[in-house]
Amino acid sequence: MTAAAHEARANDRSIFGFWVYLMTDLIMFAGLFAAFAVLRNNTFGGPAGHDFFNLPFVLEETMILLTSSFSCGLMTLAANRGDKKQTFLWLAATFVLGVSFLTLELGEFSRLVAAGNGWTRSAFLSSYFALVGTHGLHIAVGLLWIAVAAVQIWIRDLTPFTASKLNRFALFWHFLDLVWIFIFTIVYLMGAAL
C-alpha cells in the first residue's frame, strides 16, 4: 500500500469516527431538549421564559452565529484550495464572530443570575441553563479548536491533512449552528409565546 493510499484510508476512518462523535452529541442534545420540553412549565413560582426572554437580543445572537457559519464555509473552501491567507482570514472571522456570540450568551447568563434567576431557582431555569450552557461550552471548544488549527497551519503550513482537519471542524461548527436554530425556535420563540 502506498503512503498516499494509507493516508486516505486513515482520513476516511477519521471522518467516520468524527461522524460517530457528532451523532453522540446529537443524542446528548436530544436528551437536553427533551428535559427542557418536560420542565419548561416548572417555574416553582419564578419567572417563565416570556418574562425575561429578549427576542431582538436573541435574534442578534442568532445572526452572529449564522454569519460565523458562512465565514466557516468560506474558510473550508479556501483550505481545500490550499489558500493559506484566505484560510487564516476566514478562520479569524469565524473566531471573532464565535467570541461575540459567546460574550453575548455569557452576558445573558450573568444578567439572569444577578437578577436571582440562576439555575437553582427552578426546574425550568435548570433545564434552560443546561441546554443553552452546553451549547455555549461547545462554542468555547470550537474557539479553542480554531486557535489550535491556526497555530498548526502557521507552523506546519496548510497541507491536505490540515485541510481535512478543518473540514471536520466545519462539520462541528455547522452542527452547532443547527442546534442553535432549534434552541432559538424551541427555547426562545416558543418560550416567549407561552
Domain boundaries, the chain: 3-193
Note the pLDDT of residue 13.
Answer: 78
The pTM score is 0.92
In b/e form, how buried is each residue of 143-172, taking b as 16+ CB within 10 angstroms? bebbeebeebbeeeebeeebbbbbbbbbbb
| pLDDT tens-digit readout, 98-154 | 999 999 999 999 999 999 999 999 999 999 999 999 999 999 999 999 999 999 999
DSSP 187: I
pLDDT at residue 43 tops 70: yes
CATH number assigned to the domain covering 3-193: 1.20.120.80
Tell me the CA distances in angstroms from 120 to 54, 80, 156, one per residue in order.
Answer: 21, 46, 47
Q: What is the pLDDT of residue 2?
A: 74
Q: What is the distance between the alpha carbons of residues 150 and 147, in angstroms, rounded to a whole number?
A: 5
